Amino acid sequence: MELPIKIIVVLIIVALVLVILSSFLLGQTGAQITKAEAERIFTSQCQIYSQNNCEWDVTRNSDFSKYVEACRVLYGPERDSFSCLYVLCNACKDTQNFQIKCAGICSACKGNNEIGISTETCCAEFTAQCSGVIECSVCTVSYSE
């Protein structure tokens, strides 16, 4: 009893697809972390990142991918690095808002500089509120001259 070549080819393709799907599904289920483990990772890393002023540089750390994975287990697969660090990590919420505020003040100073308005008042406000938070080249240049 000989099988036609078309049937043999179809059976081989079906077998390959089944092998690939099963290895993919088994690989995915084995790699997931438990909810308790995710909570531990997320909470501890959030505290560590807040001690580093929640700067975006923490996303380059080798353990940040584990933090994002834990975040996705806890808060849904659609979460990204930004929301895990600045929206869901309570210790970093205020820090990020403060950095955004300082970036806004710096942008206003840059705008004043570009249109020829004195930056002295703006840079004094920036220095008073944001010294050491972010760098603002316009304010650094105007005070060093």
pLDDT tens digits, one per residue of 17-58: 888 877 766 655 545 789 999 999 999 999 998 888 788 788
Whole-prediction pTM value?
Answer: 0.49
Average pLDDT estimate for 122-141: 83
What is residue 144's predicted lDDT score, i.e. its pLDDT? 37
What is residue 74's predicted lDDT score, i.e. its pLDDT? 95
Q: Write out the DSSP string of 48-81.
A: HHHHTTT-GGGGGSTTHHHHHHHHHHHH-TT--H
Q: How far is CA 94 from CA 66, 74, 89, 128, in A?
A: 23, 21, 10, 18
What is residue 55's predicted lDDT score, i.e. its pLDDT? 81
